[in-house]
């Protein structure tokens, strides 16, 4: 019985010693070391886009009769791209031209009528003056004088009628010219031309197809306006500013890095994905770029002469500004509430305050560890 008791005591002491060893022995942890010349970069994923992009089509409906360019072609401003069947519209234009010519003839006739009526009025005025003089001299009857005055009044009215008819014909001429311009404009709409010097990206219709007004026939871009559209997490977007440099890596050329600059920052964030759009122009990108190609960007927002960068995974309850970390102070583990600032593209955050003197931040999260446990500094992560 005594032997059993001794064995039980020894076992209890062994278990207690083992538990004490497991909980009190120094725990080897990796800590964050201060760094110099720290580049703070933001990572974003985006695509190759064009700032000037147009999907062009006809303003009229009709049958597509010809296509003169294809995808990949470069076109100059004003160059013909496609044409619709023009027979019906050309006939309308010819009718409008004939109407203008007929009006010109009518206008010439009306102008001659005005000249004739004016000449007759002058003759009747002279005759009326002679009759009036003869009547004063009692060489002609009053009736003859009245008839001469009447003839003058009629001639003057005829002049006014002729002038009015001329004004009507001139107005009709303006209407005919406007109708001719309209028919010419409608005919021009049967021909599709390039609105600017462009690269044809896609051709969306073929000869013989019946197209409606507004249907896109080609997608055109200005190749000089190629840029990268990238999406940045809103939590990091506050560090962005126009003119910041960045590096661009295209998916088709993963071994190459290109230089870009922020040209535009979107004023509206995506409400679902909680991302902000930025656009970077590229100074040394390849001559041929492909719209929609995936691109990775890393934007340099700032540099630090020295900084303590803590991995986000090591921060407990991080809200973007504050969080709790494990620290080693006086060779023992404890927790500390710190404040943080800028982030980088490696998932790290800059410590800005709250770290006790001579304390070091543990670089990895700890589980099942109590505060006050002895700690030993191991290799950095």
**Domain residues of the chain, as ranges?**
26-38+306-377, 42-51+223-303, 60-84+190-221, 87-188
Contacts of 375 (CB under 8 A, 6+ apart): 26, 27, 28, 29, 328, 331, 332, 333
Query: Of 138 and 211, which is predicted with more confidence?
Result: 211
Segment 236-254, tens digit of pLDDT: 888 899 999 999 999 999 8
- What proportion of the chain, given as a percentage, has pLDDT over 70? 91
Buried b (16+ CB within 10 A) or exposed e, 80-111: ebbbbebeebeebbeebeebeeebeebeeebe
- CATH fold for the domain made of 26-38+306-377: 2.40.420
Q: What is the model's pTM?
A: 0.70
pLDDT at 18: 46
Taking the C-alpha atoms of residue 159 and residue 110, their distance in angstroms, rounded to an integer, is 11
Segment 131-170, tens digit of pLDDT: 777 777 766 667 777 777 787 788 888 889 988 998 999 9
pLDDT at 2: 56
pLDDT at 3: 60
Query: Of 16 and 60, which is predicted with more confidence?
Result: 60
CB 310 within 8 A of CB 323: no
- Does domain 42-51+223-303 match CATH 2.40.30.170? yes
Average pLDDT over the chain, rounded to an integer: 87
pLDDT at 123: 85
Taking the C-alpha atoms of residue 232 and residue 137, their distance in angstroms, rounded to an integer, is 109
Segment 343-355, tens digit of pLDDT: 888 889 999 999 9
pLDDT at 6: 59
pLDDT at 248: 95
pLDDT at 369: 87
Per-residue pLDDT at 288 exceeds 60: yes
Segment 50-104, tens digit of pLDDT: 999 999 999 889 999 999 999 999 999 999 999 999 988 889 999 999 999 999 9
Beta strands across the sheet bearing 191-193: 191-193, 80-84, 62-67, 210-211
Of the pLDDT bands very low, low, confident and very high (cuts 50, 70, 90), residue 12 is low
The dihedral region occupied by 368, where left means phi > 0, alpha psi between -120 and 50, and beta the remainder, is: left
pLDDT at 305: 93
pLDDT at 20: 46
Q: Read out DSSP for 1-29?
A: -HHHHHHHHHHHHHHHHHHHHHHHSPEEE
What are the phi and psi torsion angles at 370 (to 5°)? -95, 150
CB 265 within 8 A of CB 238: no
- What's the CATH code, domain 60-84+190-221? 2.40.50.100
Tokens (6 digits) for 287: 């001559």
Of the pLDDT bands very low, low, confident and very high (cuts 50, 70, 90), residue 260 is very high
Per-residue pLDDT at 4 exceeds 70: no
pLDDT at 379: 63
Segment 171-187, tens digit of pLDDT: 999 999 999 999 998 88
Taking the C-alpha atoms of residue 299 and residue 345, their distance in angstroms, rounded to an integer, is 9
Over residues 308-325, the mean pLDDT reads: 92
Extended strands (E) in 136-293: 191-193, 198-203, 210-211, 216-221, 226-233, 245-250, 258-265, 275-282
């Amino acid at each position: 019985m005594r032997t059993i008791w001794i064995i039980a005591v020894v076992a209890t002491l062994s278990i207690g010693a083992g538990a004490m060893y497991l909980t009190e022995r120094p725990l080897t942890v990796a800590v964050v070391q201060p760094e110099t010349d720290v580049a703070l970069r933001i990572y974003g994923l985006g695509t190759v886009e064009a700032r000037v992009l147009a999907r062009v089509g006809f303003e009229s409906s009709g049958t597509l009769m010809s296509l003169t360019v294809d995808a990949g072609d470069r076109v100059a401003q004003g160059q013909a791209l496609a044409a619709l069947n023009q027979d019906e519209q050309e006939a309308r234009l010819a009718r409008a031209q004939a109407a203008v010519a007929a009006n010109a003839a009518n206008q010439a006739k009306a102008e001659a009528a005005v000249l004739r009526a004016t000449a007759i009025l002058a003759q009747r005025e002279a005759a009326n003056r002679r009759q009036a003089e003869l009547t004063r001299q009692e060489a002609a009857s009053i009736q003859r004088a009245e008839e001469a005055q009447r003839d003058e009044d009629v001639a003057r009215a005829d002049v006014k009628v002729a002038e009015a008819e001329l004004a009507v014909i001139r107005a009709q001429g303006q209407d005919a010219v406007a109708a001719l311009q309209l028919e010419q404009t409608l005919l021009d709409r049967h021909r599709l031309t390039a609105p600017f010097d462009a690269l044809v990206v896609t051709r969306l219709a073929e000869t013989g197809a019946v197209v409606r007004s507004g249907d896109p026939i080609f997608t055109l871009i200005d190749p000089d306006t190629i840029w990268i559209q990238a999406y940045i997490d809103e939590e990091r977007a506050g560090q962005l500013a126009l003119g910041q440099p960045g590096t661009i890596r295209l998916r088709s050329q993963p071994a190459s890095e290109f230089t870009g600059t922020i040209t535009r920052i979107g004023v509206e964030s995506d409400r679902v994905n909680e991302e902000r759009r930025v656009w970077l122009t590229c100074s040394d990108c390849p001559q041929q770029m492909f719209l929609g190609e995936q691109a990775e960007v890393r934007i340099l927002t700032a540099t630090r002469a020295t900084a303590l960068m803590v991995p986000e995974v090591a921060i407990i309850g991080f809200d973007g500004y504050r969080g709790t970390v494990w620290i080693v102070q006086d060779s023992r583990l404890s927790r500390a509430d710190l404040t943080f600032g800028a982030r980088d593209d490696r998932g790290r955050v800059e410590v800005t305050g709250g770290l006790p003197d001579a304390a070091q931040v543990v670089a990895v999260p700890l589980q099942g560890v109590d505060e006050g446990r002895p700690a030993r500094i191991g290799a950095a992560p």
